[in-house]
Amino acid sequence: MAKKVVATLQTAGKDFAKVIQVVRSKKTGHYTFKEDIVPNDKVKEFVGVK
pLDDT per residue over 18-27, tens digit each? 888 888 989 9
Count of structural domains, the chain: 1
Q: What is the pTM of this model?
A: 0.53
H or E, element range at 19: strand 16-24
Q: Worst-scoring range by mean pLDDT, 6-10, 12-16, 18-22, 40-44?
A: 6-10
- Nearest-5° angle of CA 21, CA 34, CA 41? 60
**Dihedral of the CA atoms 27, 33, 38, 41 (nearest 10)?**
80
Q: Between these two residues, 31 and 49, which has the higher pLDDT value? A: 31
Domain that holds residue 20: 2-48
